[in-house]
Amino acid sequence: MKKKRNGRSSLRLRFILICMSQLVLVAALAELAGWAFRHWFGVTPELPIFVWAMVFSGTIGVAVTNHMTKMLIDPIAKLRSAMREVADGDFKVEAKCESRIQDVQDIYDSFNSMVRELSTTETLQTDFISDVSHEFKTPINAIEGYASLLEGEPSPEEQRAYVEKILFNTRRLSALTGNILLLSKLSNQSILPQKTQFRLDEQIRQAIVALEQMWSEKELGFEVELEETPFFGYESLLLHVWTNLIGNAVKFSPKGGEIRIKMMRTEGAVVFTIEDDGPGIPAGDEERIFHKFYQSDNSREMNGNGLGLALAQQIVELSGGTISVENLPAAGCRFTVKLPIVVKV
Ligand code: ADP
């Protein structure tokens, strides 16, 4: 209460001071104008002080209004028309601020970065839709092609081969839709599974066993060193991570190659690494391999859709961890996953 009264009396004091200084200013200006008239025209204007006050207040008012319009109203009008353009779907707009007021500059900076964000999101969405359409088109075309070949009169071997190709492409489509669905669920973070307590080392062993058919066909060797790790987290999601990383290592390893898998516990975290002696990651693509639909040129013909690592990264980040890749000096690459060990409460 006291504060309010203090505030009010200081406001009143300020107002009185402003009025008094204006009066002094007007009187000084009137004196100055009288002197100028006498000096240049040799006459002394006999005007009452209130006329001078009106003349100078008017001049000062016009100057101040002009200045304020330039500083505040113009930038707001400019921003409004830029906003209209964005609302009409043009995300290339960049509003240039000519005001020297810091707050106005900050509003322009925020507006420009918002438009940049919107533009990136729109590009990502457009790219995503065109990538999805492309990835769907290839297996659908293949299925259509083999189905029409079956309509002819193929030999029993040809029939078997065509049916196998159709099944292969159907599985590809099913994996693709599954991955897209999971990606969208994770992006919305709407339907996350419950966290449960499980053994990470056992889950990784299960993933290796589940891929046995793939690695035994290629006669690959495994060197596995997994520290016992009780873990509280997204069990079913993390299985995707190990299956993808081990599956990729198997896919890209040369026949008879070796895969080295390690998991160690450190202070409050667990570090998983997987190394292979395949072709490694093309130089400069270490970040891009985690983008949706990324596939290096030499892996396009292989089984896959470029969504596995994007999913793995989302799951790891959702678990509070990180995933990275580096090429090894001799051959192949090493993926590293670091996950914080969360204690169940
Ligand atoms: P895909 O289903 O194509 O394997 P991923 O998202 O799992 O999709 O991987 C994306 C791309 O990253 C692969 O197509 C390949 O070019 C590259 N990549 C992933 N793992 C490896 C690896 N172990 N060795 C070499 N390249 C890899």
Write out residues with Cβ below 6 Å of ligand 1.
244, 248-249, 252, 276, 278-281, 289, 294-296, 299, 304-310, 333
pLDDT, residue 300, reads 63
- Residue 293 CA to ligand 1 centre (angstroms): 10
Which two structure tokens, joined as six digits, stand for 144? 């259509």
Q: Rounded CA gap, 265 and 167, in Å?
A: 42
Indicate which residue's Cα is closest to atom 19 of ligand 1.
Answer: 248
Ligand 1 pocket test: which of 297, 309, 315 has the largest number of ligand atoms within 8 Å of its C-beta?
309
How many angstroms is it from 5 CA to the middle of ligand 1?
71
Maximum Cα–Cα distance across the chain: 121
- What pLDDT sits at residue 238? 95
CB 326 within 8 A of CB 340: no
Write down the pLDDT at residue 248. Answer: 95
Closest protein CA for atom 24 of ligand 1: 280
Ligand 1: atom nearest CA of 332 is 24
Nearest CA to ligand 1 atom 14: 295
Residue nearest to atom 3 of ligand 1 (CA): 306
φ/ψ of 323, rounded to 5, equals -135, 135
Atom of ligand 1 nearest to the CA of 295: 14
pLDDT digits (tens), the chain, 345 positions: 444 555 566 667 877 888 788 778 877 877 787 788 788 888 777 777 677 777 777 887 888 888 777 777 888 888 889 999 988 888 888 988 888 888 888 899 999 999 988 888 887 778 778 778 878 888 899 899 999 998 888 888 999 999 999 999 898 888 888 888 888 888 766 667 889 999 999 999 999 999 999 999 999 999 999 999 999 999 999 999 999 999 999 999 999 999 999 999 998 899 999 999 999 999 888 999 998 888 877 666 667 788 899 999 999 999 999 999 999 998 899 999 999 987 766
Separation of alpha carbons 305 and 132, rounded Å = 10
What pLDDT does residue 232 have? 94
- In ligand 1, the atom with minimum distance to the C-alpha of 289 is 12
**CA 289 to centroid of ligand 1, rounded, Å:** 7
What's the CA-to-centroid distance between 344 and ligand 1, angstroms? 34
237: which 2 tokens?
């999601």
- The 3-state DSSP class for residue 230 equals strand
- Strand partners of residue 333: 327
Model-level pTM? 0.66
Kindly give the distance from the C-alpha atom of residue 295 to the centroid of ligand 1, in angstroms, as a whole number: 6
pLDDT of the residue at 11: 66
Kindly write down the DSSP assignment for every residue of 187-200, as one continuous string: HHT-SPPPPEEEEH
Sign of CA dihedral 129, 130, 133, 135: negative
Pair 214, 247: CB distance under 8 Å = yes
What is the full DSSP assignment across 199-215?
A: EHHHHHHHHHHHTHHHH
Please state the atom number of ligand 1 nearest to the C-alpha of residue 290: 6
Can you tell me the distance from the alpha carbon of 71 to that of 164, in angstroms, rounded to the nearest whole number?
72
Map residue 281 onto helix, strand or coil.
Answer: coil
Residue 191, CA atoms < 13 Å, CB-side half-sphere: 5
Cα of 195 from ligand 1 centre, angstroms: 28
| Ligand 1, atom 11: closest residue by C-alpha | 295
pLDDT at 154: 85
Q: What one-character DSSP code corresponds to residue 288?
A: G
**Which atom of ligand 1 is found nearest the CA of 335?**
23
Identify which of 245, 248, 274, 281 to mutate to test ligand 1's pocket (most ligand atoms within 8 A of the CB): 248
In this prediction, residue 222 carries a pLDDT of 93
3-state secondary structure of 269: strand
- Give the span between the Cα atoms of 117 and 94, in whole angstroms: 12
HSE-up of residue 258 (Cα within 13 Å, Cβ side): 4
